[in-house]
Amino acid sequence: MRYTPQASRLDFNSSAEIDRRRKVYTNISFGQETDNTDLGQNITGQWVTGTSPATADTEFSITVNLGYTPVGFDVKRQDKAASFYDSGTAWTATTIYLKCSVASVKYTLFVH
């Protein structure tokens, strides 16, 4: 006898399924505080603020405390038009290394 799978019994348009999707997809949050104490944050990462070096395109380090080696960062705020980029030095679980195309840029990053 050959097995024939039955059609899915999930009703993707049921009110319970719609409610579940609404709860999952609408409650993703970076949090509202940049001091890493916000209990509303449910995306793993760390907020970092600082100022880039006084010379453009100079490597600088940022200390992190995530418990793993970060895979990336997002620039959330900066006070000048500039690009932040990976310096090429290998990141560790405690330090990432970046460069900035403009001198003395105040920044807020989300490292993840």
Is the pLDDT score of 94 beyond 70? yes
How buried is 78 (Cβ within 10 angstroms: 0-12 exposed, 13-18 middle, 19+ buried)? Answer: middle
0.95 surpassed by pTM = no
Do 55 and 69 form a contact (C-beta atoms < 8 A)? Answer: no
* 3-state SS class at 51: strand
Predicted pLDDT at 71: 92
CA torsion sign for 50, 54, 55, 58 is negative
User: Can you give the residue ranges of every domain in the chain?
Assistant: 33-111
Is the pLDDT score of 25 beyond 70? no
Tens digits of residue pLDDT in 29-55: 666 666 667 666 677 889 999 999 999
